[in-house]
Amino acid sequence: MKKTLAYFLYTMLIACIVCACSDRMDIIQNYGFDLQTLPVPETVVQNETVEIRCQLIREGYYSEAKYFIRYFQTDGRGELRLDDGTLLTPNDLFPLANDIFRLYYTSRSNSQQNVDIYIVDNSGQVVQKSFSFTNDSSNTWE
């Protein structure tokens, strides 16, 4: 009886191992990510440029992952450029070449300004960061 039970358990163990094995390899192609930025000034004067230092933080690395940037300006007026000089136009996607990059925002307004930046990857994931600038119209050159 013990011998039969041992054969039965041994057979069940082999069956479980065989069923659990697969020759298909799972490759993760869409890792989560986030956008980190260094602090930026809260006030800006018209025609002043503010630097926004950015870094993509990936949860994993997939060589075929592509990242893009787009932005919206909900209040005020201004221009946003990539560190290579590319002028971004609102709501258009632009490719990001590196995980570490800089954005340059130039104020073209003398009022409150809000800029929403979106980073999108080729699998459809989106990360959004918002920046608000208060106009500083005080004359500091007295």
DSSP track, 48-63: -EEEEEEEEEESS--T
Q: What ranges in 80-132 are assigned the alpha helix state H?
A: none
Q: Kind and range of the H or E element at 62? A: none
Locus of tokens 């949860």: 59
**Domain layout of the chain by residue ranges:** 33-135
In the CATH scheme, what is the code of domain 33-135? 2.60.40.2410
DSSP state of 30: -
In this prediction, residue 24 carries a pLDDT of 63
pTM of the predicted protein model: 0.75
- From first to last of its 142 residues, the chain has per-residue pLDDT tens of 777 877 777 787 777 676 665 666 556 667 889 999 999 999 999 999 999 999 999 988 877 889 999 999 999 999 999 999 999 999 999 999 999 999 999 999 888 999 999 999 998 899 999 999 998 766 444 3
With tokens 């290579």, the residue in question is: 84
Instruction: Tell me the C-alpha distance between 115 and 74, whole Å.
Output: 6
Q: What confidence score (pLDDT) does residue 22 get?
A: 60
**pLDDT of the residue at 140:** 47
Q: What is residue 141's predicted lDDT score, i.e. its pLDDT?
A: 43
pLDDT confidence of residue 18: 66
**How far is the C-alpha of 116 from the C-alpha of 128, rounded, in Å?**
7
